[in-house]
A and B are shown apart, each in its own frame.
Chain A
Amino acid sequence: MGLSSWLSGSARGEHPDRPFTGYKLAHAALSADGARTGFAGLTMGAGHVYGVVADATCVWNSRHQSPRRWCGCGFYCLHALTDALSLGCATENRSALLIEVAASGRYIRYERGLRYSRQRVRAIKQAWCGCGRPGVALADAGSGLVGWRHLAPACDQCVAGRPTLTVRDFVARLDGRVRIDEGPDGMAQLPGMQAPAAMTAEQPFAVLTAEIALLHARLDNLQARLDG
């Protein structure tokens, strides 16, 4: 397809009857006043926060429509959830949410995903704490943009004592409806890993505490004999 045909792409290209389903990563963001939430991109879109429904604009050239073939602009998403999970393994992406989107408008289709002009966030599918447990809340990530704080998922043990926003509160402050894809036990575990059994995790600590208490009692007894 040459340039002229791309300029009239909407007339000559494909015309699917419904938006594409795609998967991508995004940082959760909270406005400075705490009233609104949104999503921030990871690479080219990292300087902007978008809502549930958003239209892409080119950050380099506002005179052309996005996405343009010879430009890298536009929203990006992956066709396969597994590819998005793989992307989330990268160190710089660990604190991002995995979201499902409906991709529409002008688009360019690639082997593994799409570049497109209109995006609707449908669901938050995964949010993992940095320790590997499922995230139950969002805490200040320590980074952000002017007017927006980045939030990072945190588990119930890592959030202790920190100000947080639950994932439900995050969704409630978005400018539209977004689903939270969680099971009866909350967000999914990391693939290939299991949740630790509560007893096996706490038992060694409890035994150690008892041993220390016994040791203290013996020391007190010894001290009493020496004093006597």
Chain B
Amino acid sequence: MRLGKEQSAGYVEDTEVDSIAVDEVTAEITIDSTERTRLTPTAQPSIPVG
């Protein structure tokens, strides 16, 4: 490819970055979820105590 006569030289940053479309970003946020912290299905202990 013939580009003609040289004129100058330099450096330029690649300032273009791949953007992410909003609809591609998904997130699930759970606030104050007691279901995730409960270890037994009921509030009672599963093994009789005493």
Contacts and interface: CB of A to CB of B under 8 A. Distances in A.
Contact of A19 (B1, B4, B7, B12): B12
Contacts of B18: 176-177
Nearest to B6: A110
A15 B12 contact: yes
Contacts of B11: 9-10, 13-15, 105-107
Nearest to B11: A10
Interface size class of A (residues with CB under 8 A): 35 or more
A91 interface: no
A10 B18 CA distance: 25
A177 B16 CA distance: 12
A43 B16 contact: no
Interface in A82-102: 87, 102
Nearest to B13: A104
B15 A10 contact: no
Nearest to A108: B9
- With most chain A CB atoms within 10 A of its CB, the pick from B3, B15, B18 is B3
Contacts of B7: 109-111
Given A176-B18, A177-B18, A107 B1 contact: no
Given A19-B15, A104-B14, A177-B18, A112 B4 contact: yes
Contacts, number: 92
A107 B12 contact: yes
B23 to A, nearest CB: 14
A130 interface: no
A16 B1 contact: no
B2 A112 contact: yes
Interface string A13-36: 111111110001000000000000
A112 B7 CA distance: 10
Contacts of B12: 14-20, 103-105, 107
Contacts of A106: 9-11
A9 B10 contact: yes
Contact of B9 (A6, A120, A122): A6
B8 interface: yes
Top 4 A-B residue pairs of the complex, sorted by shortest distance between their CB atoms: A111-B4, A14-B10, A13-B10, A110-B3
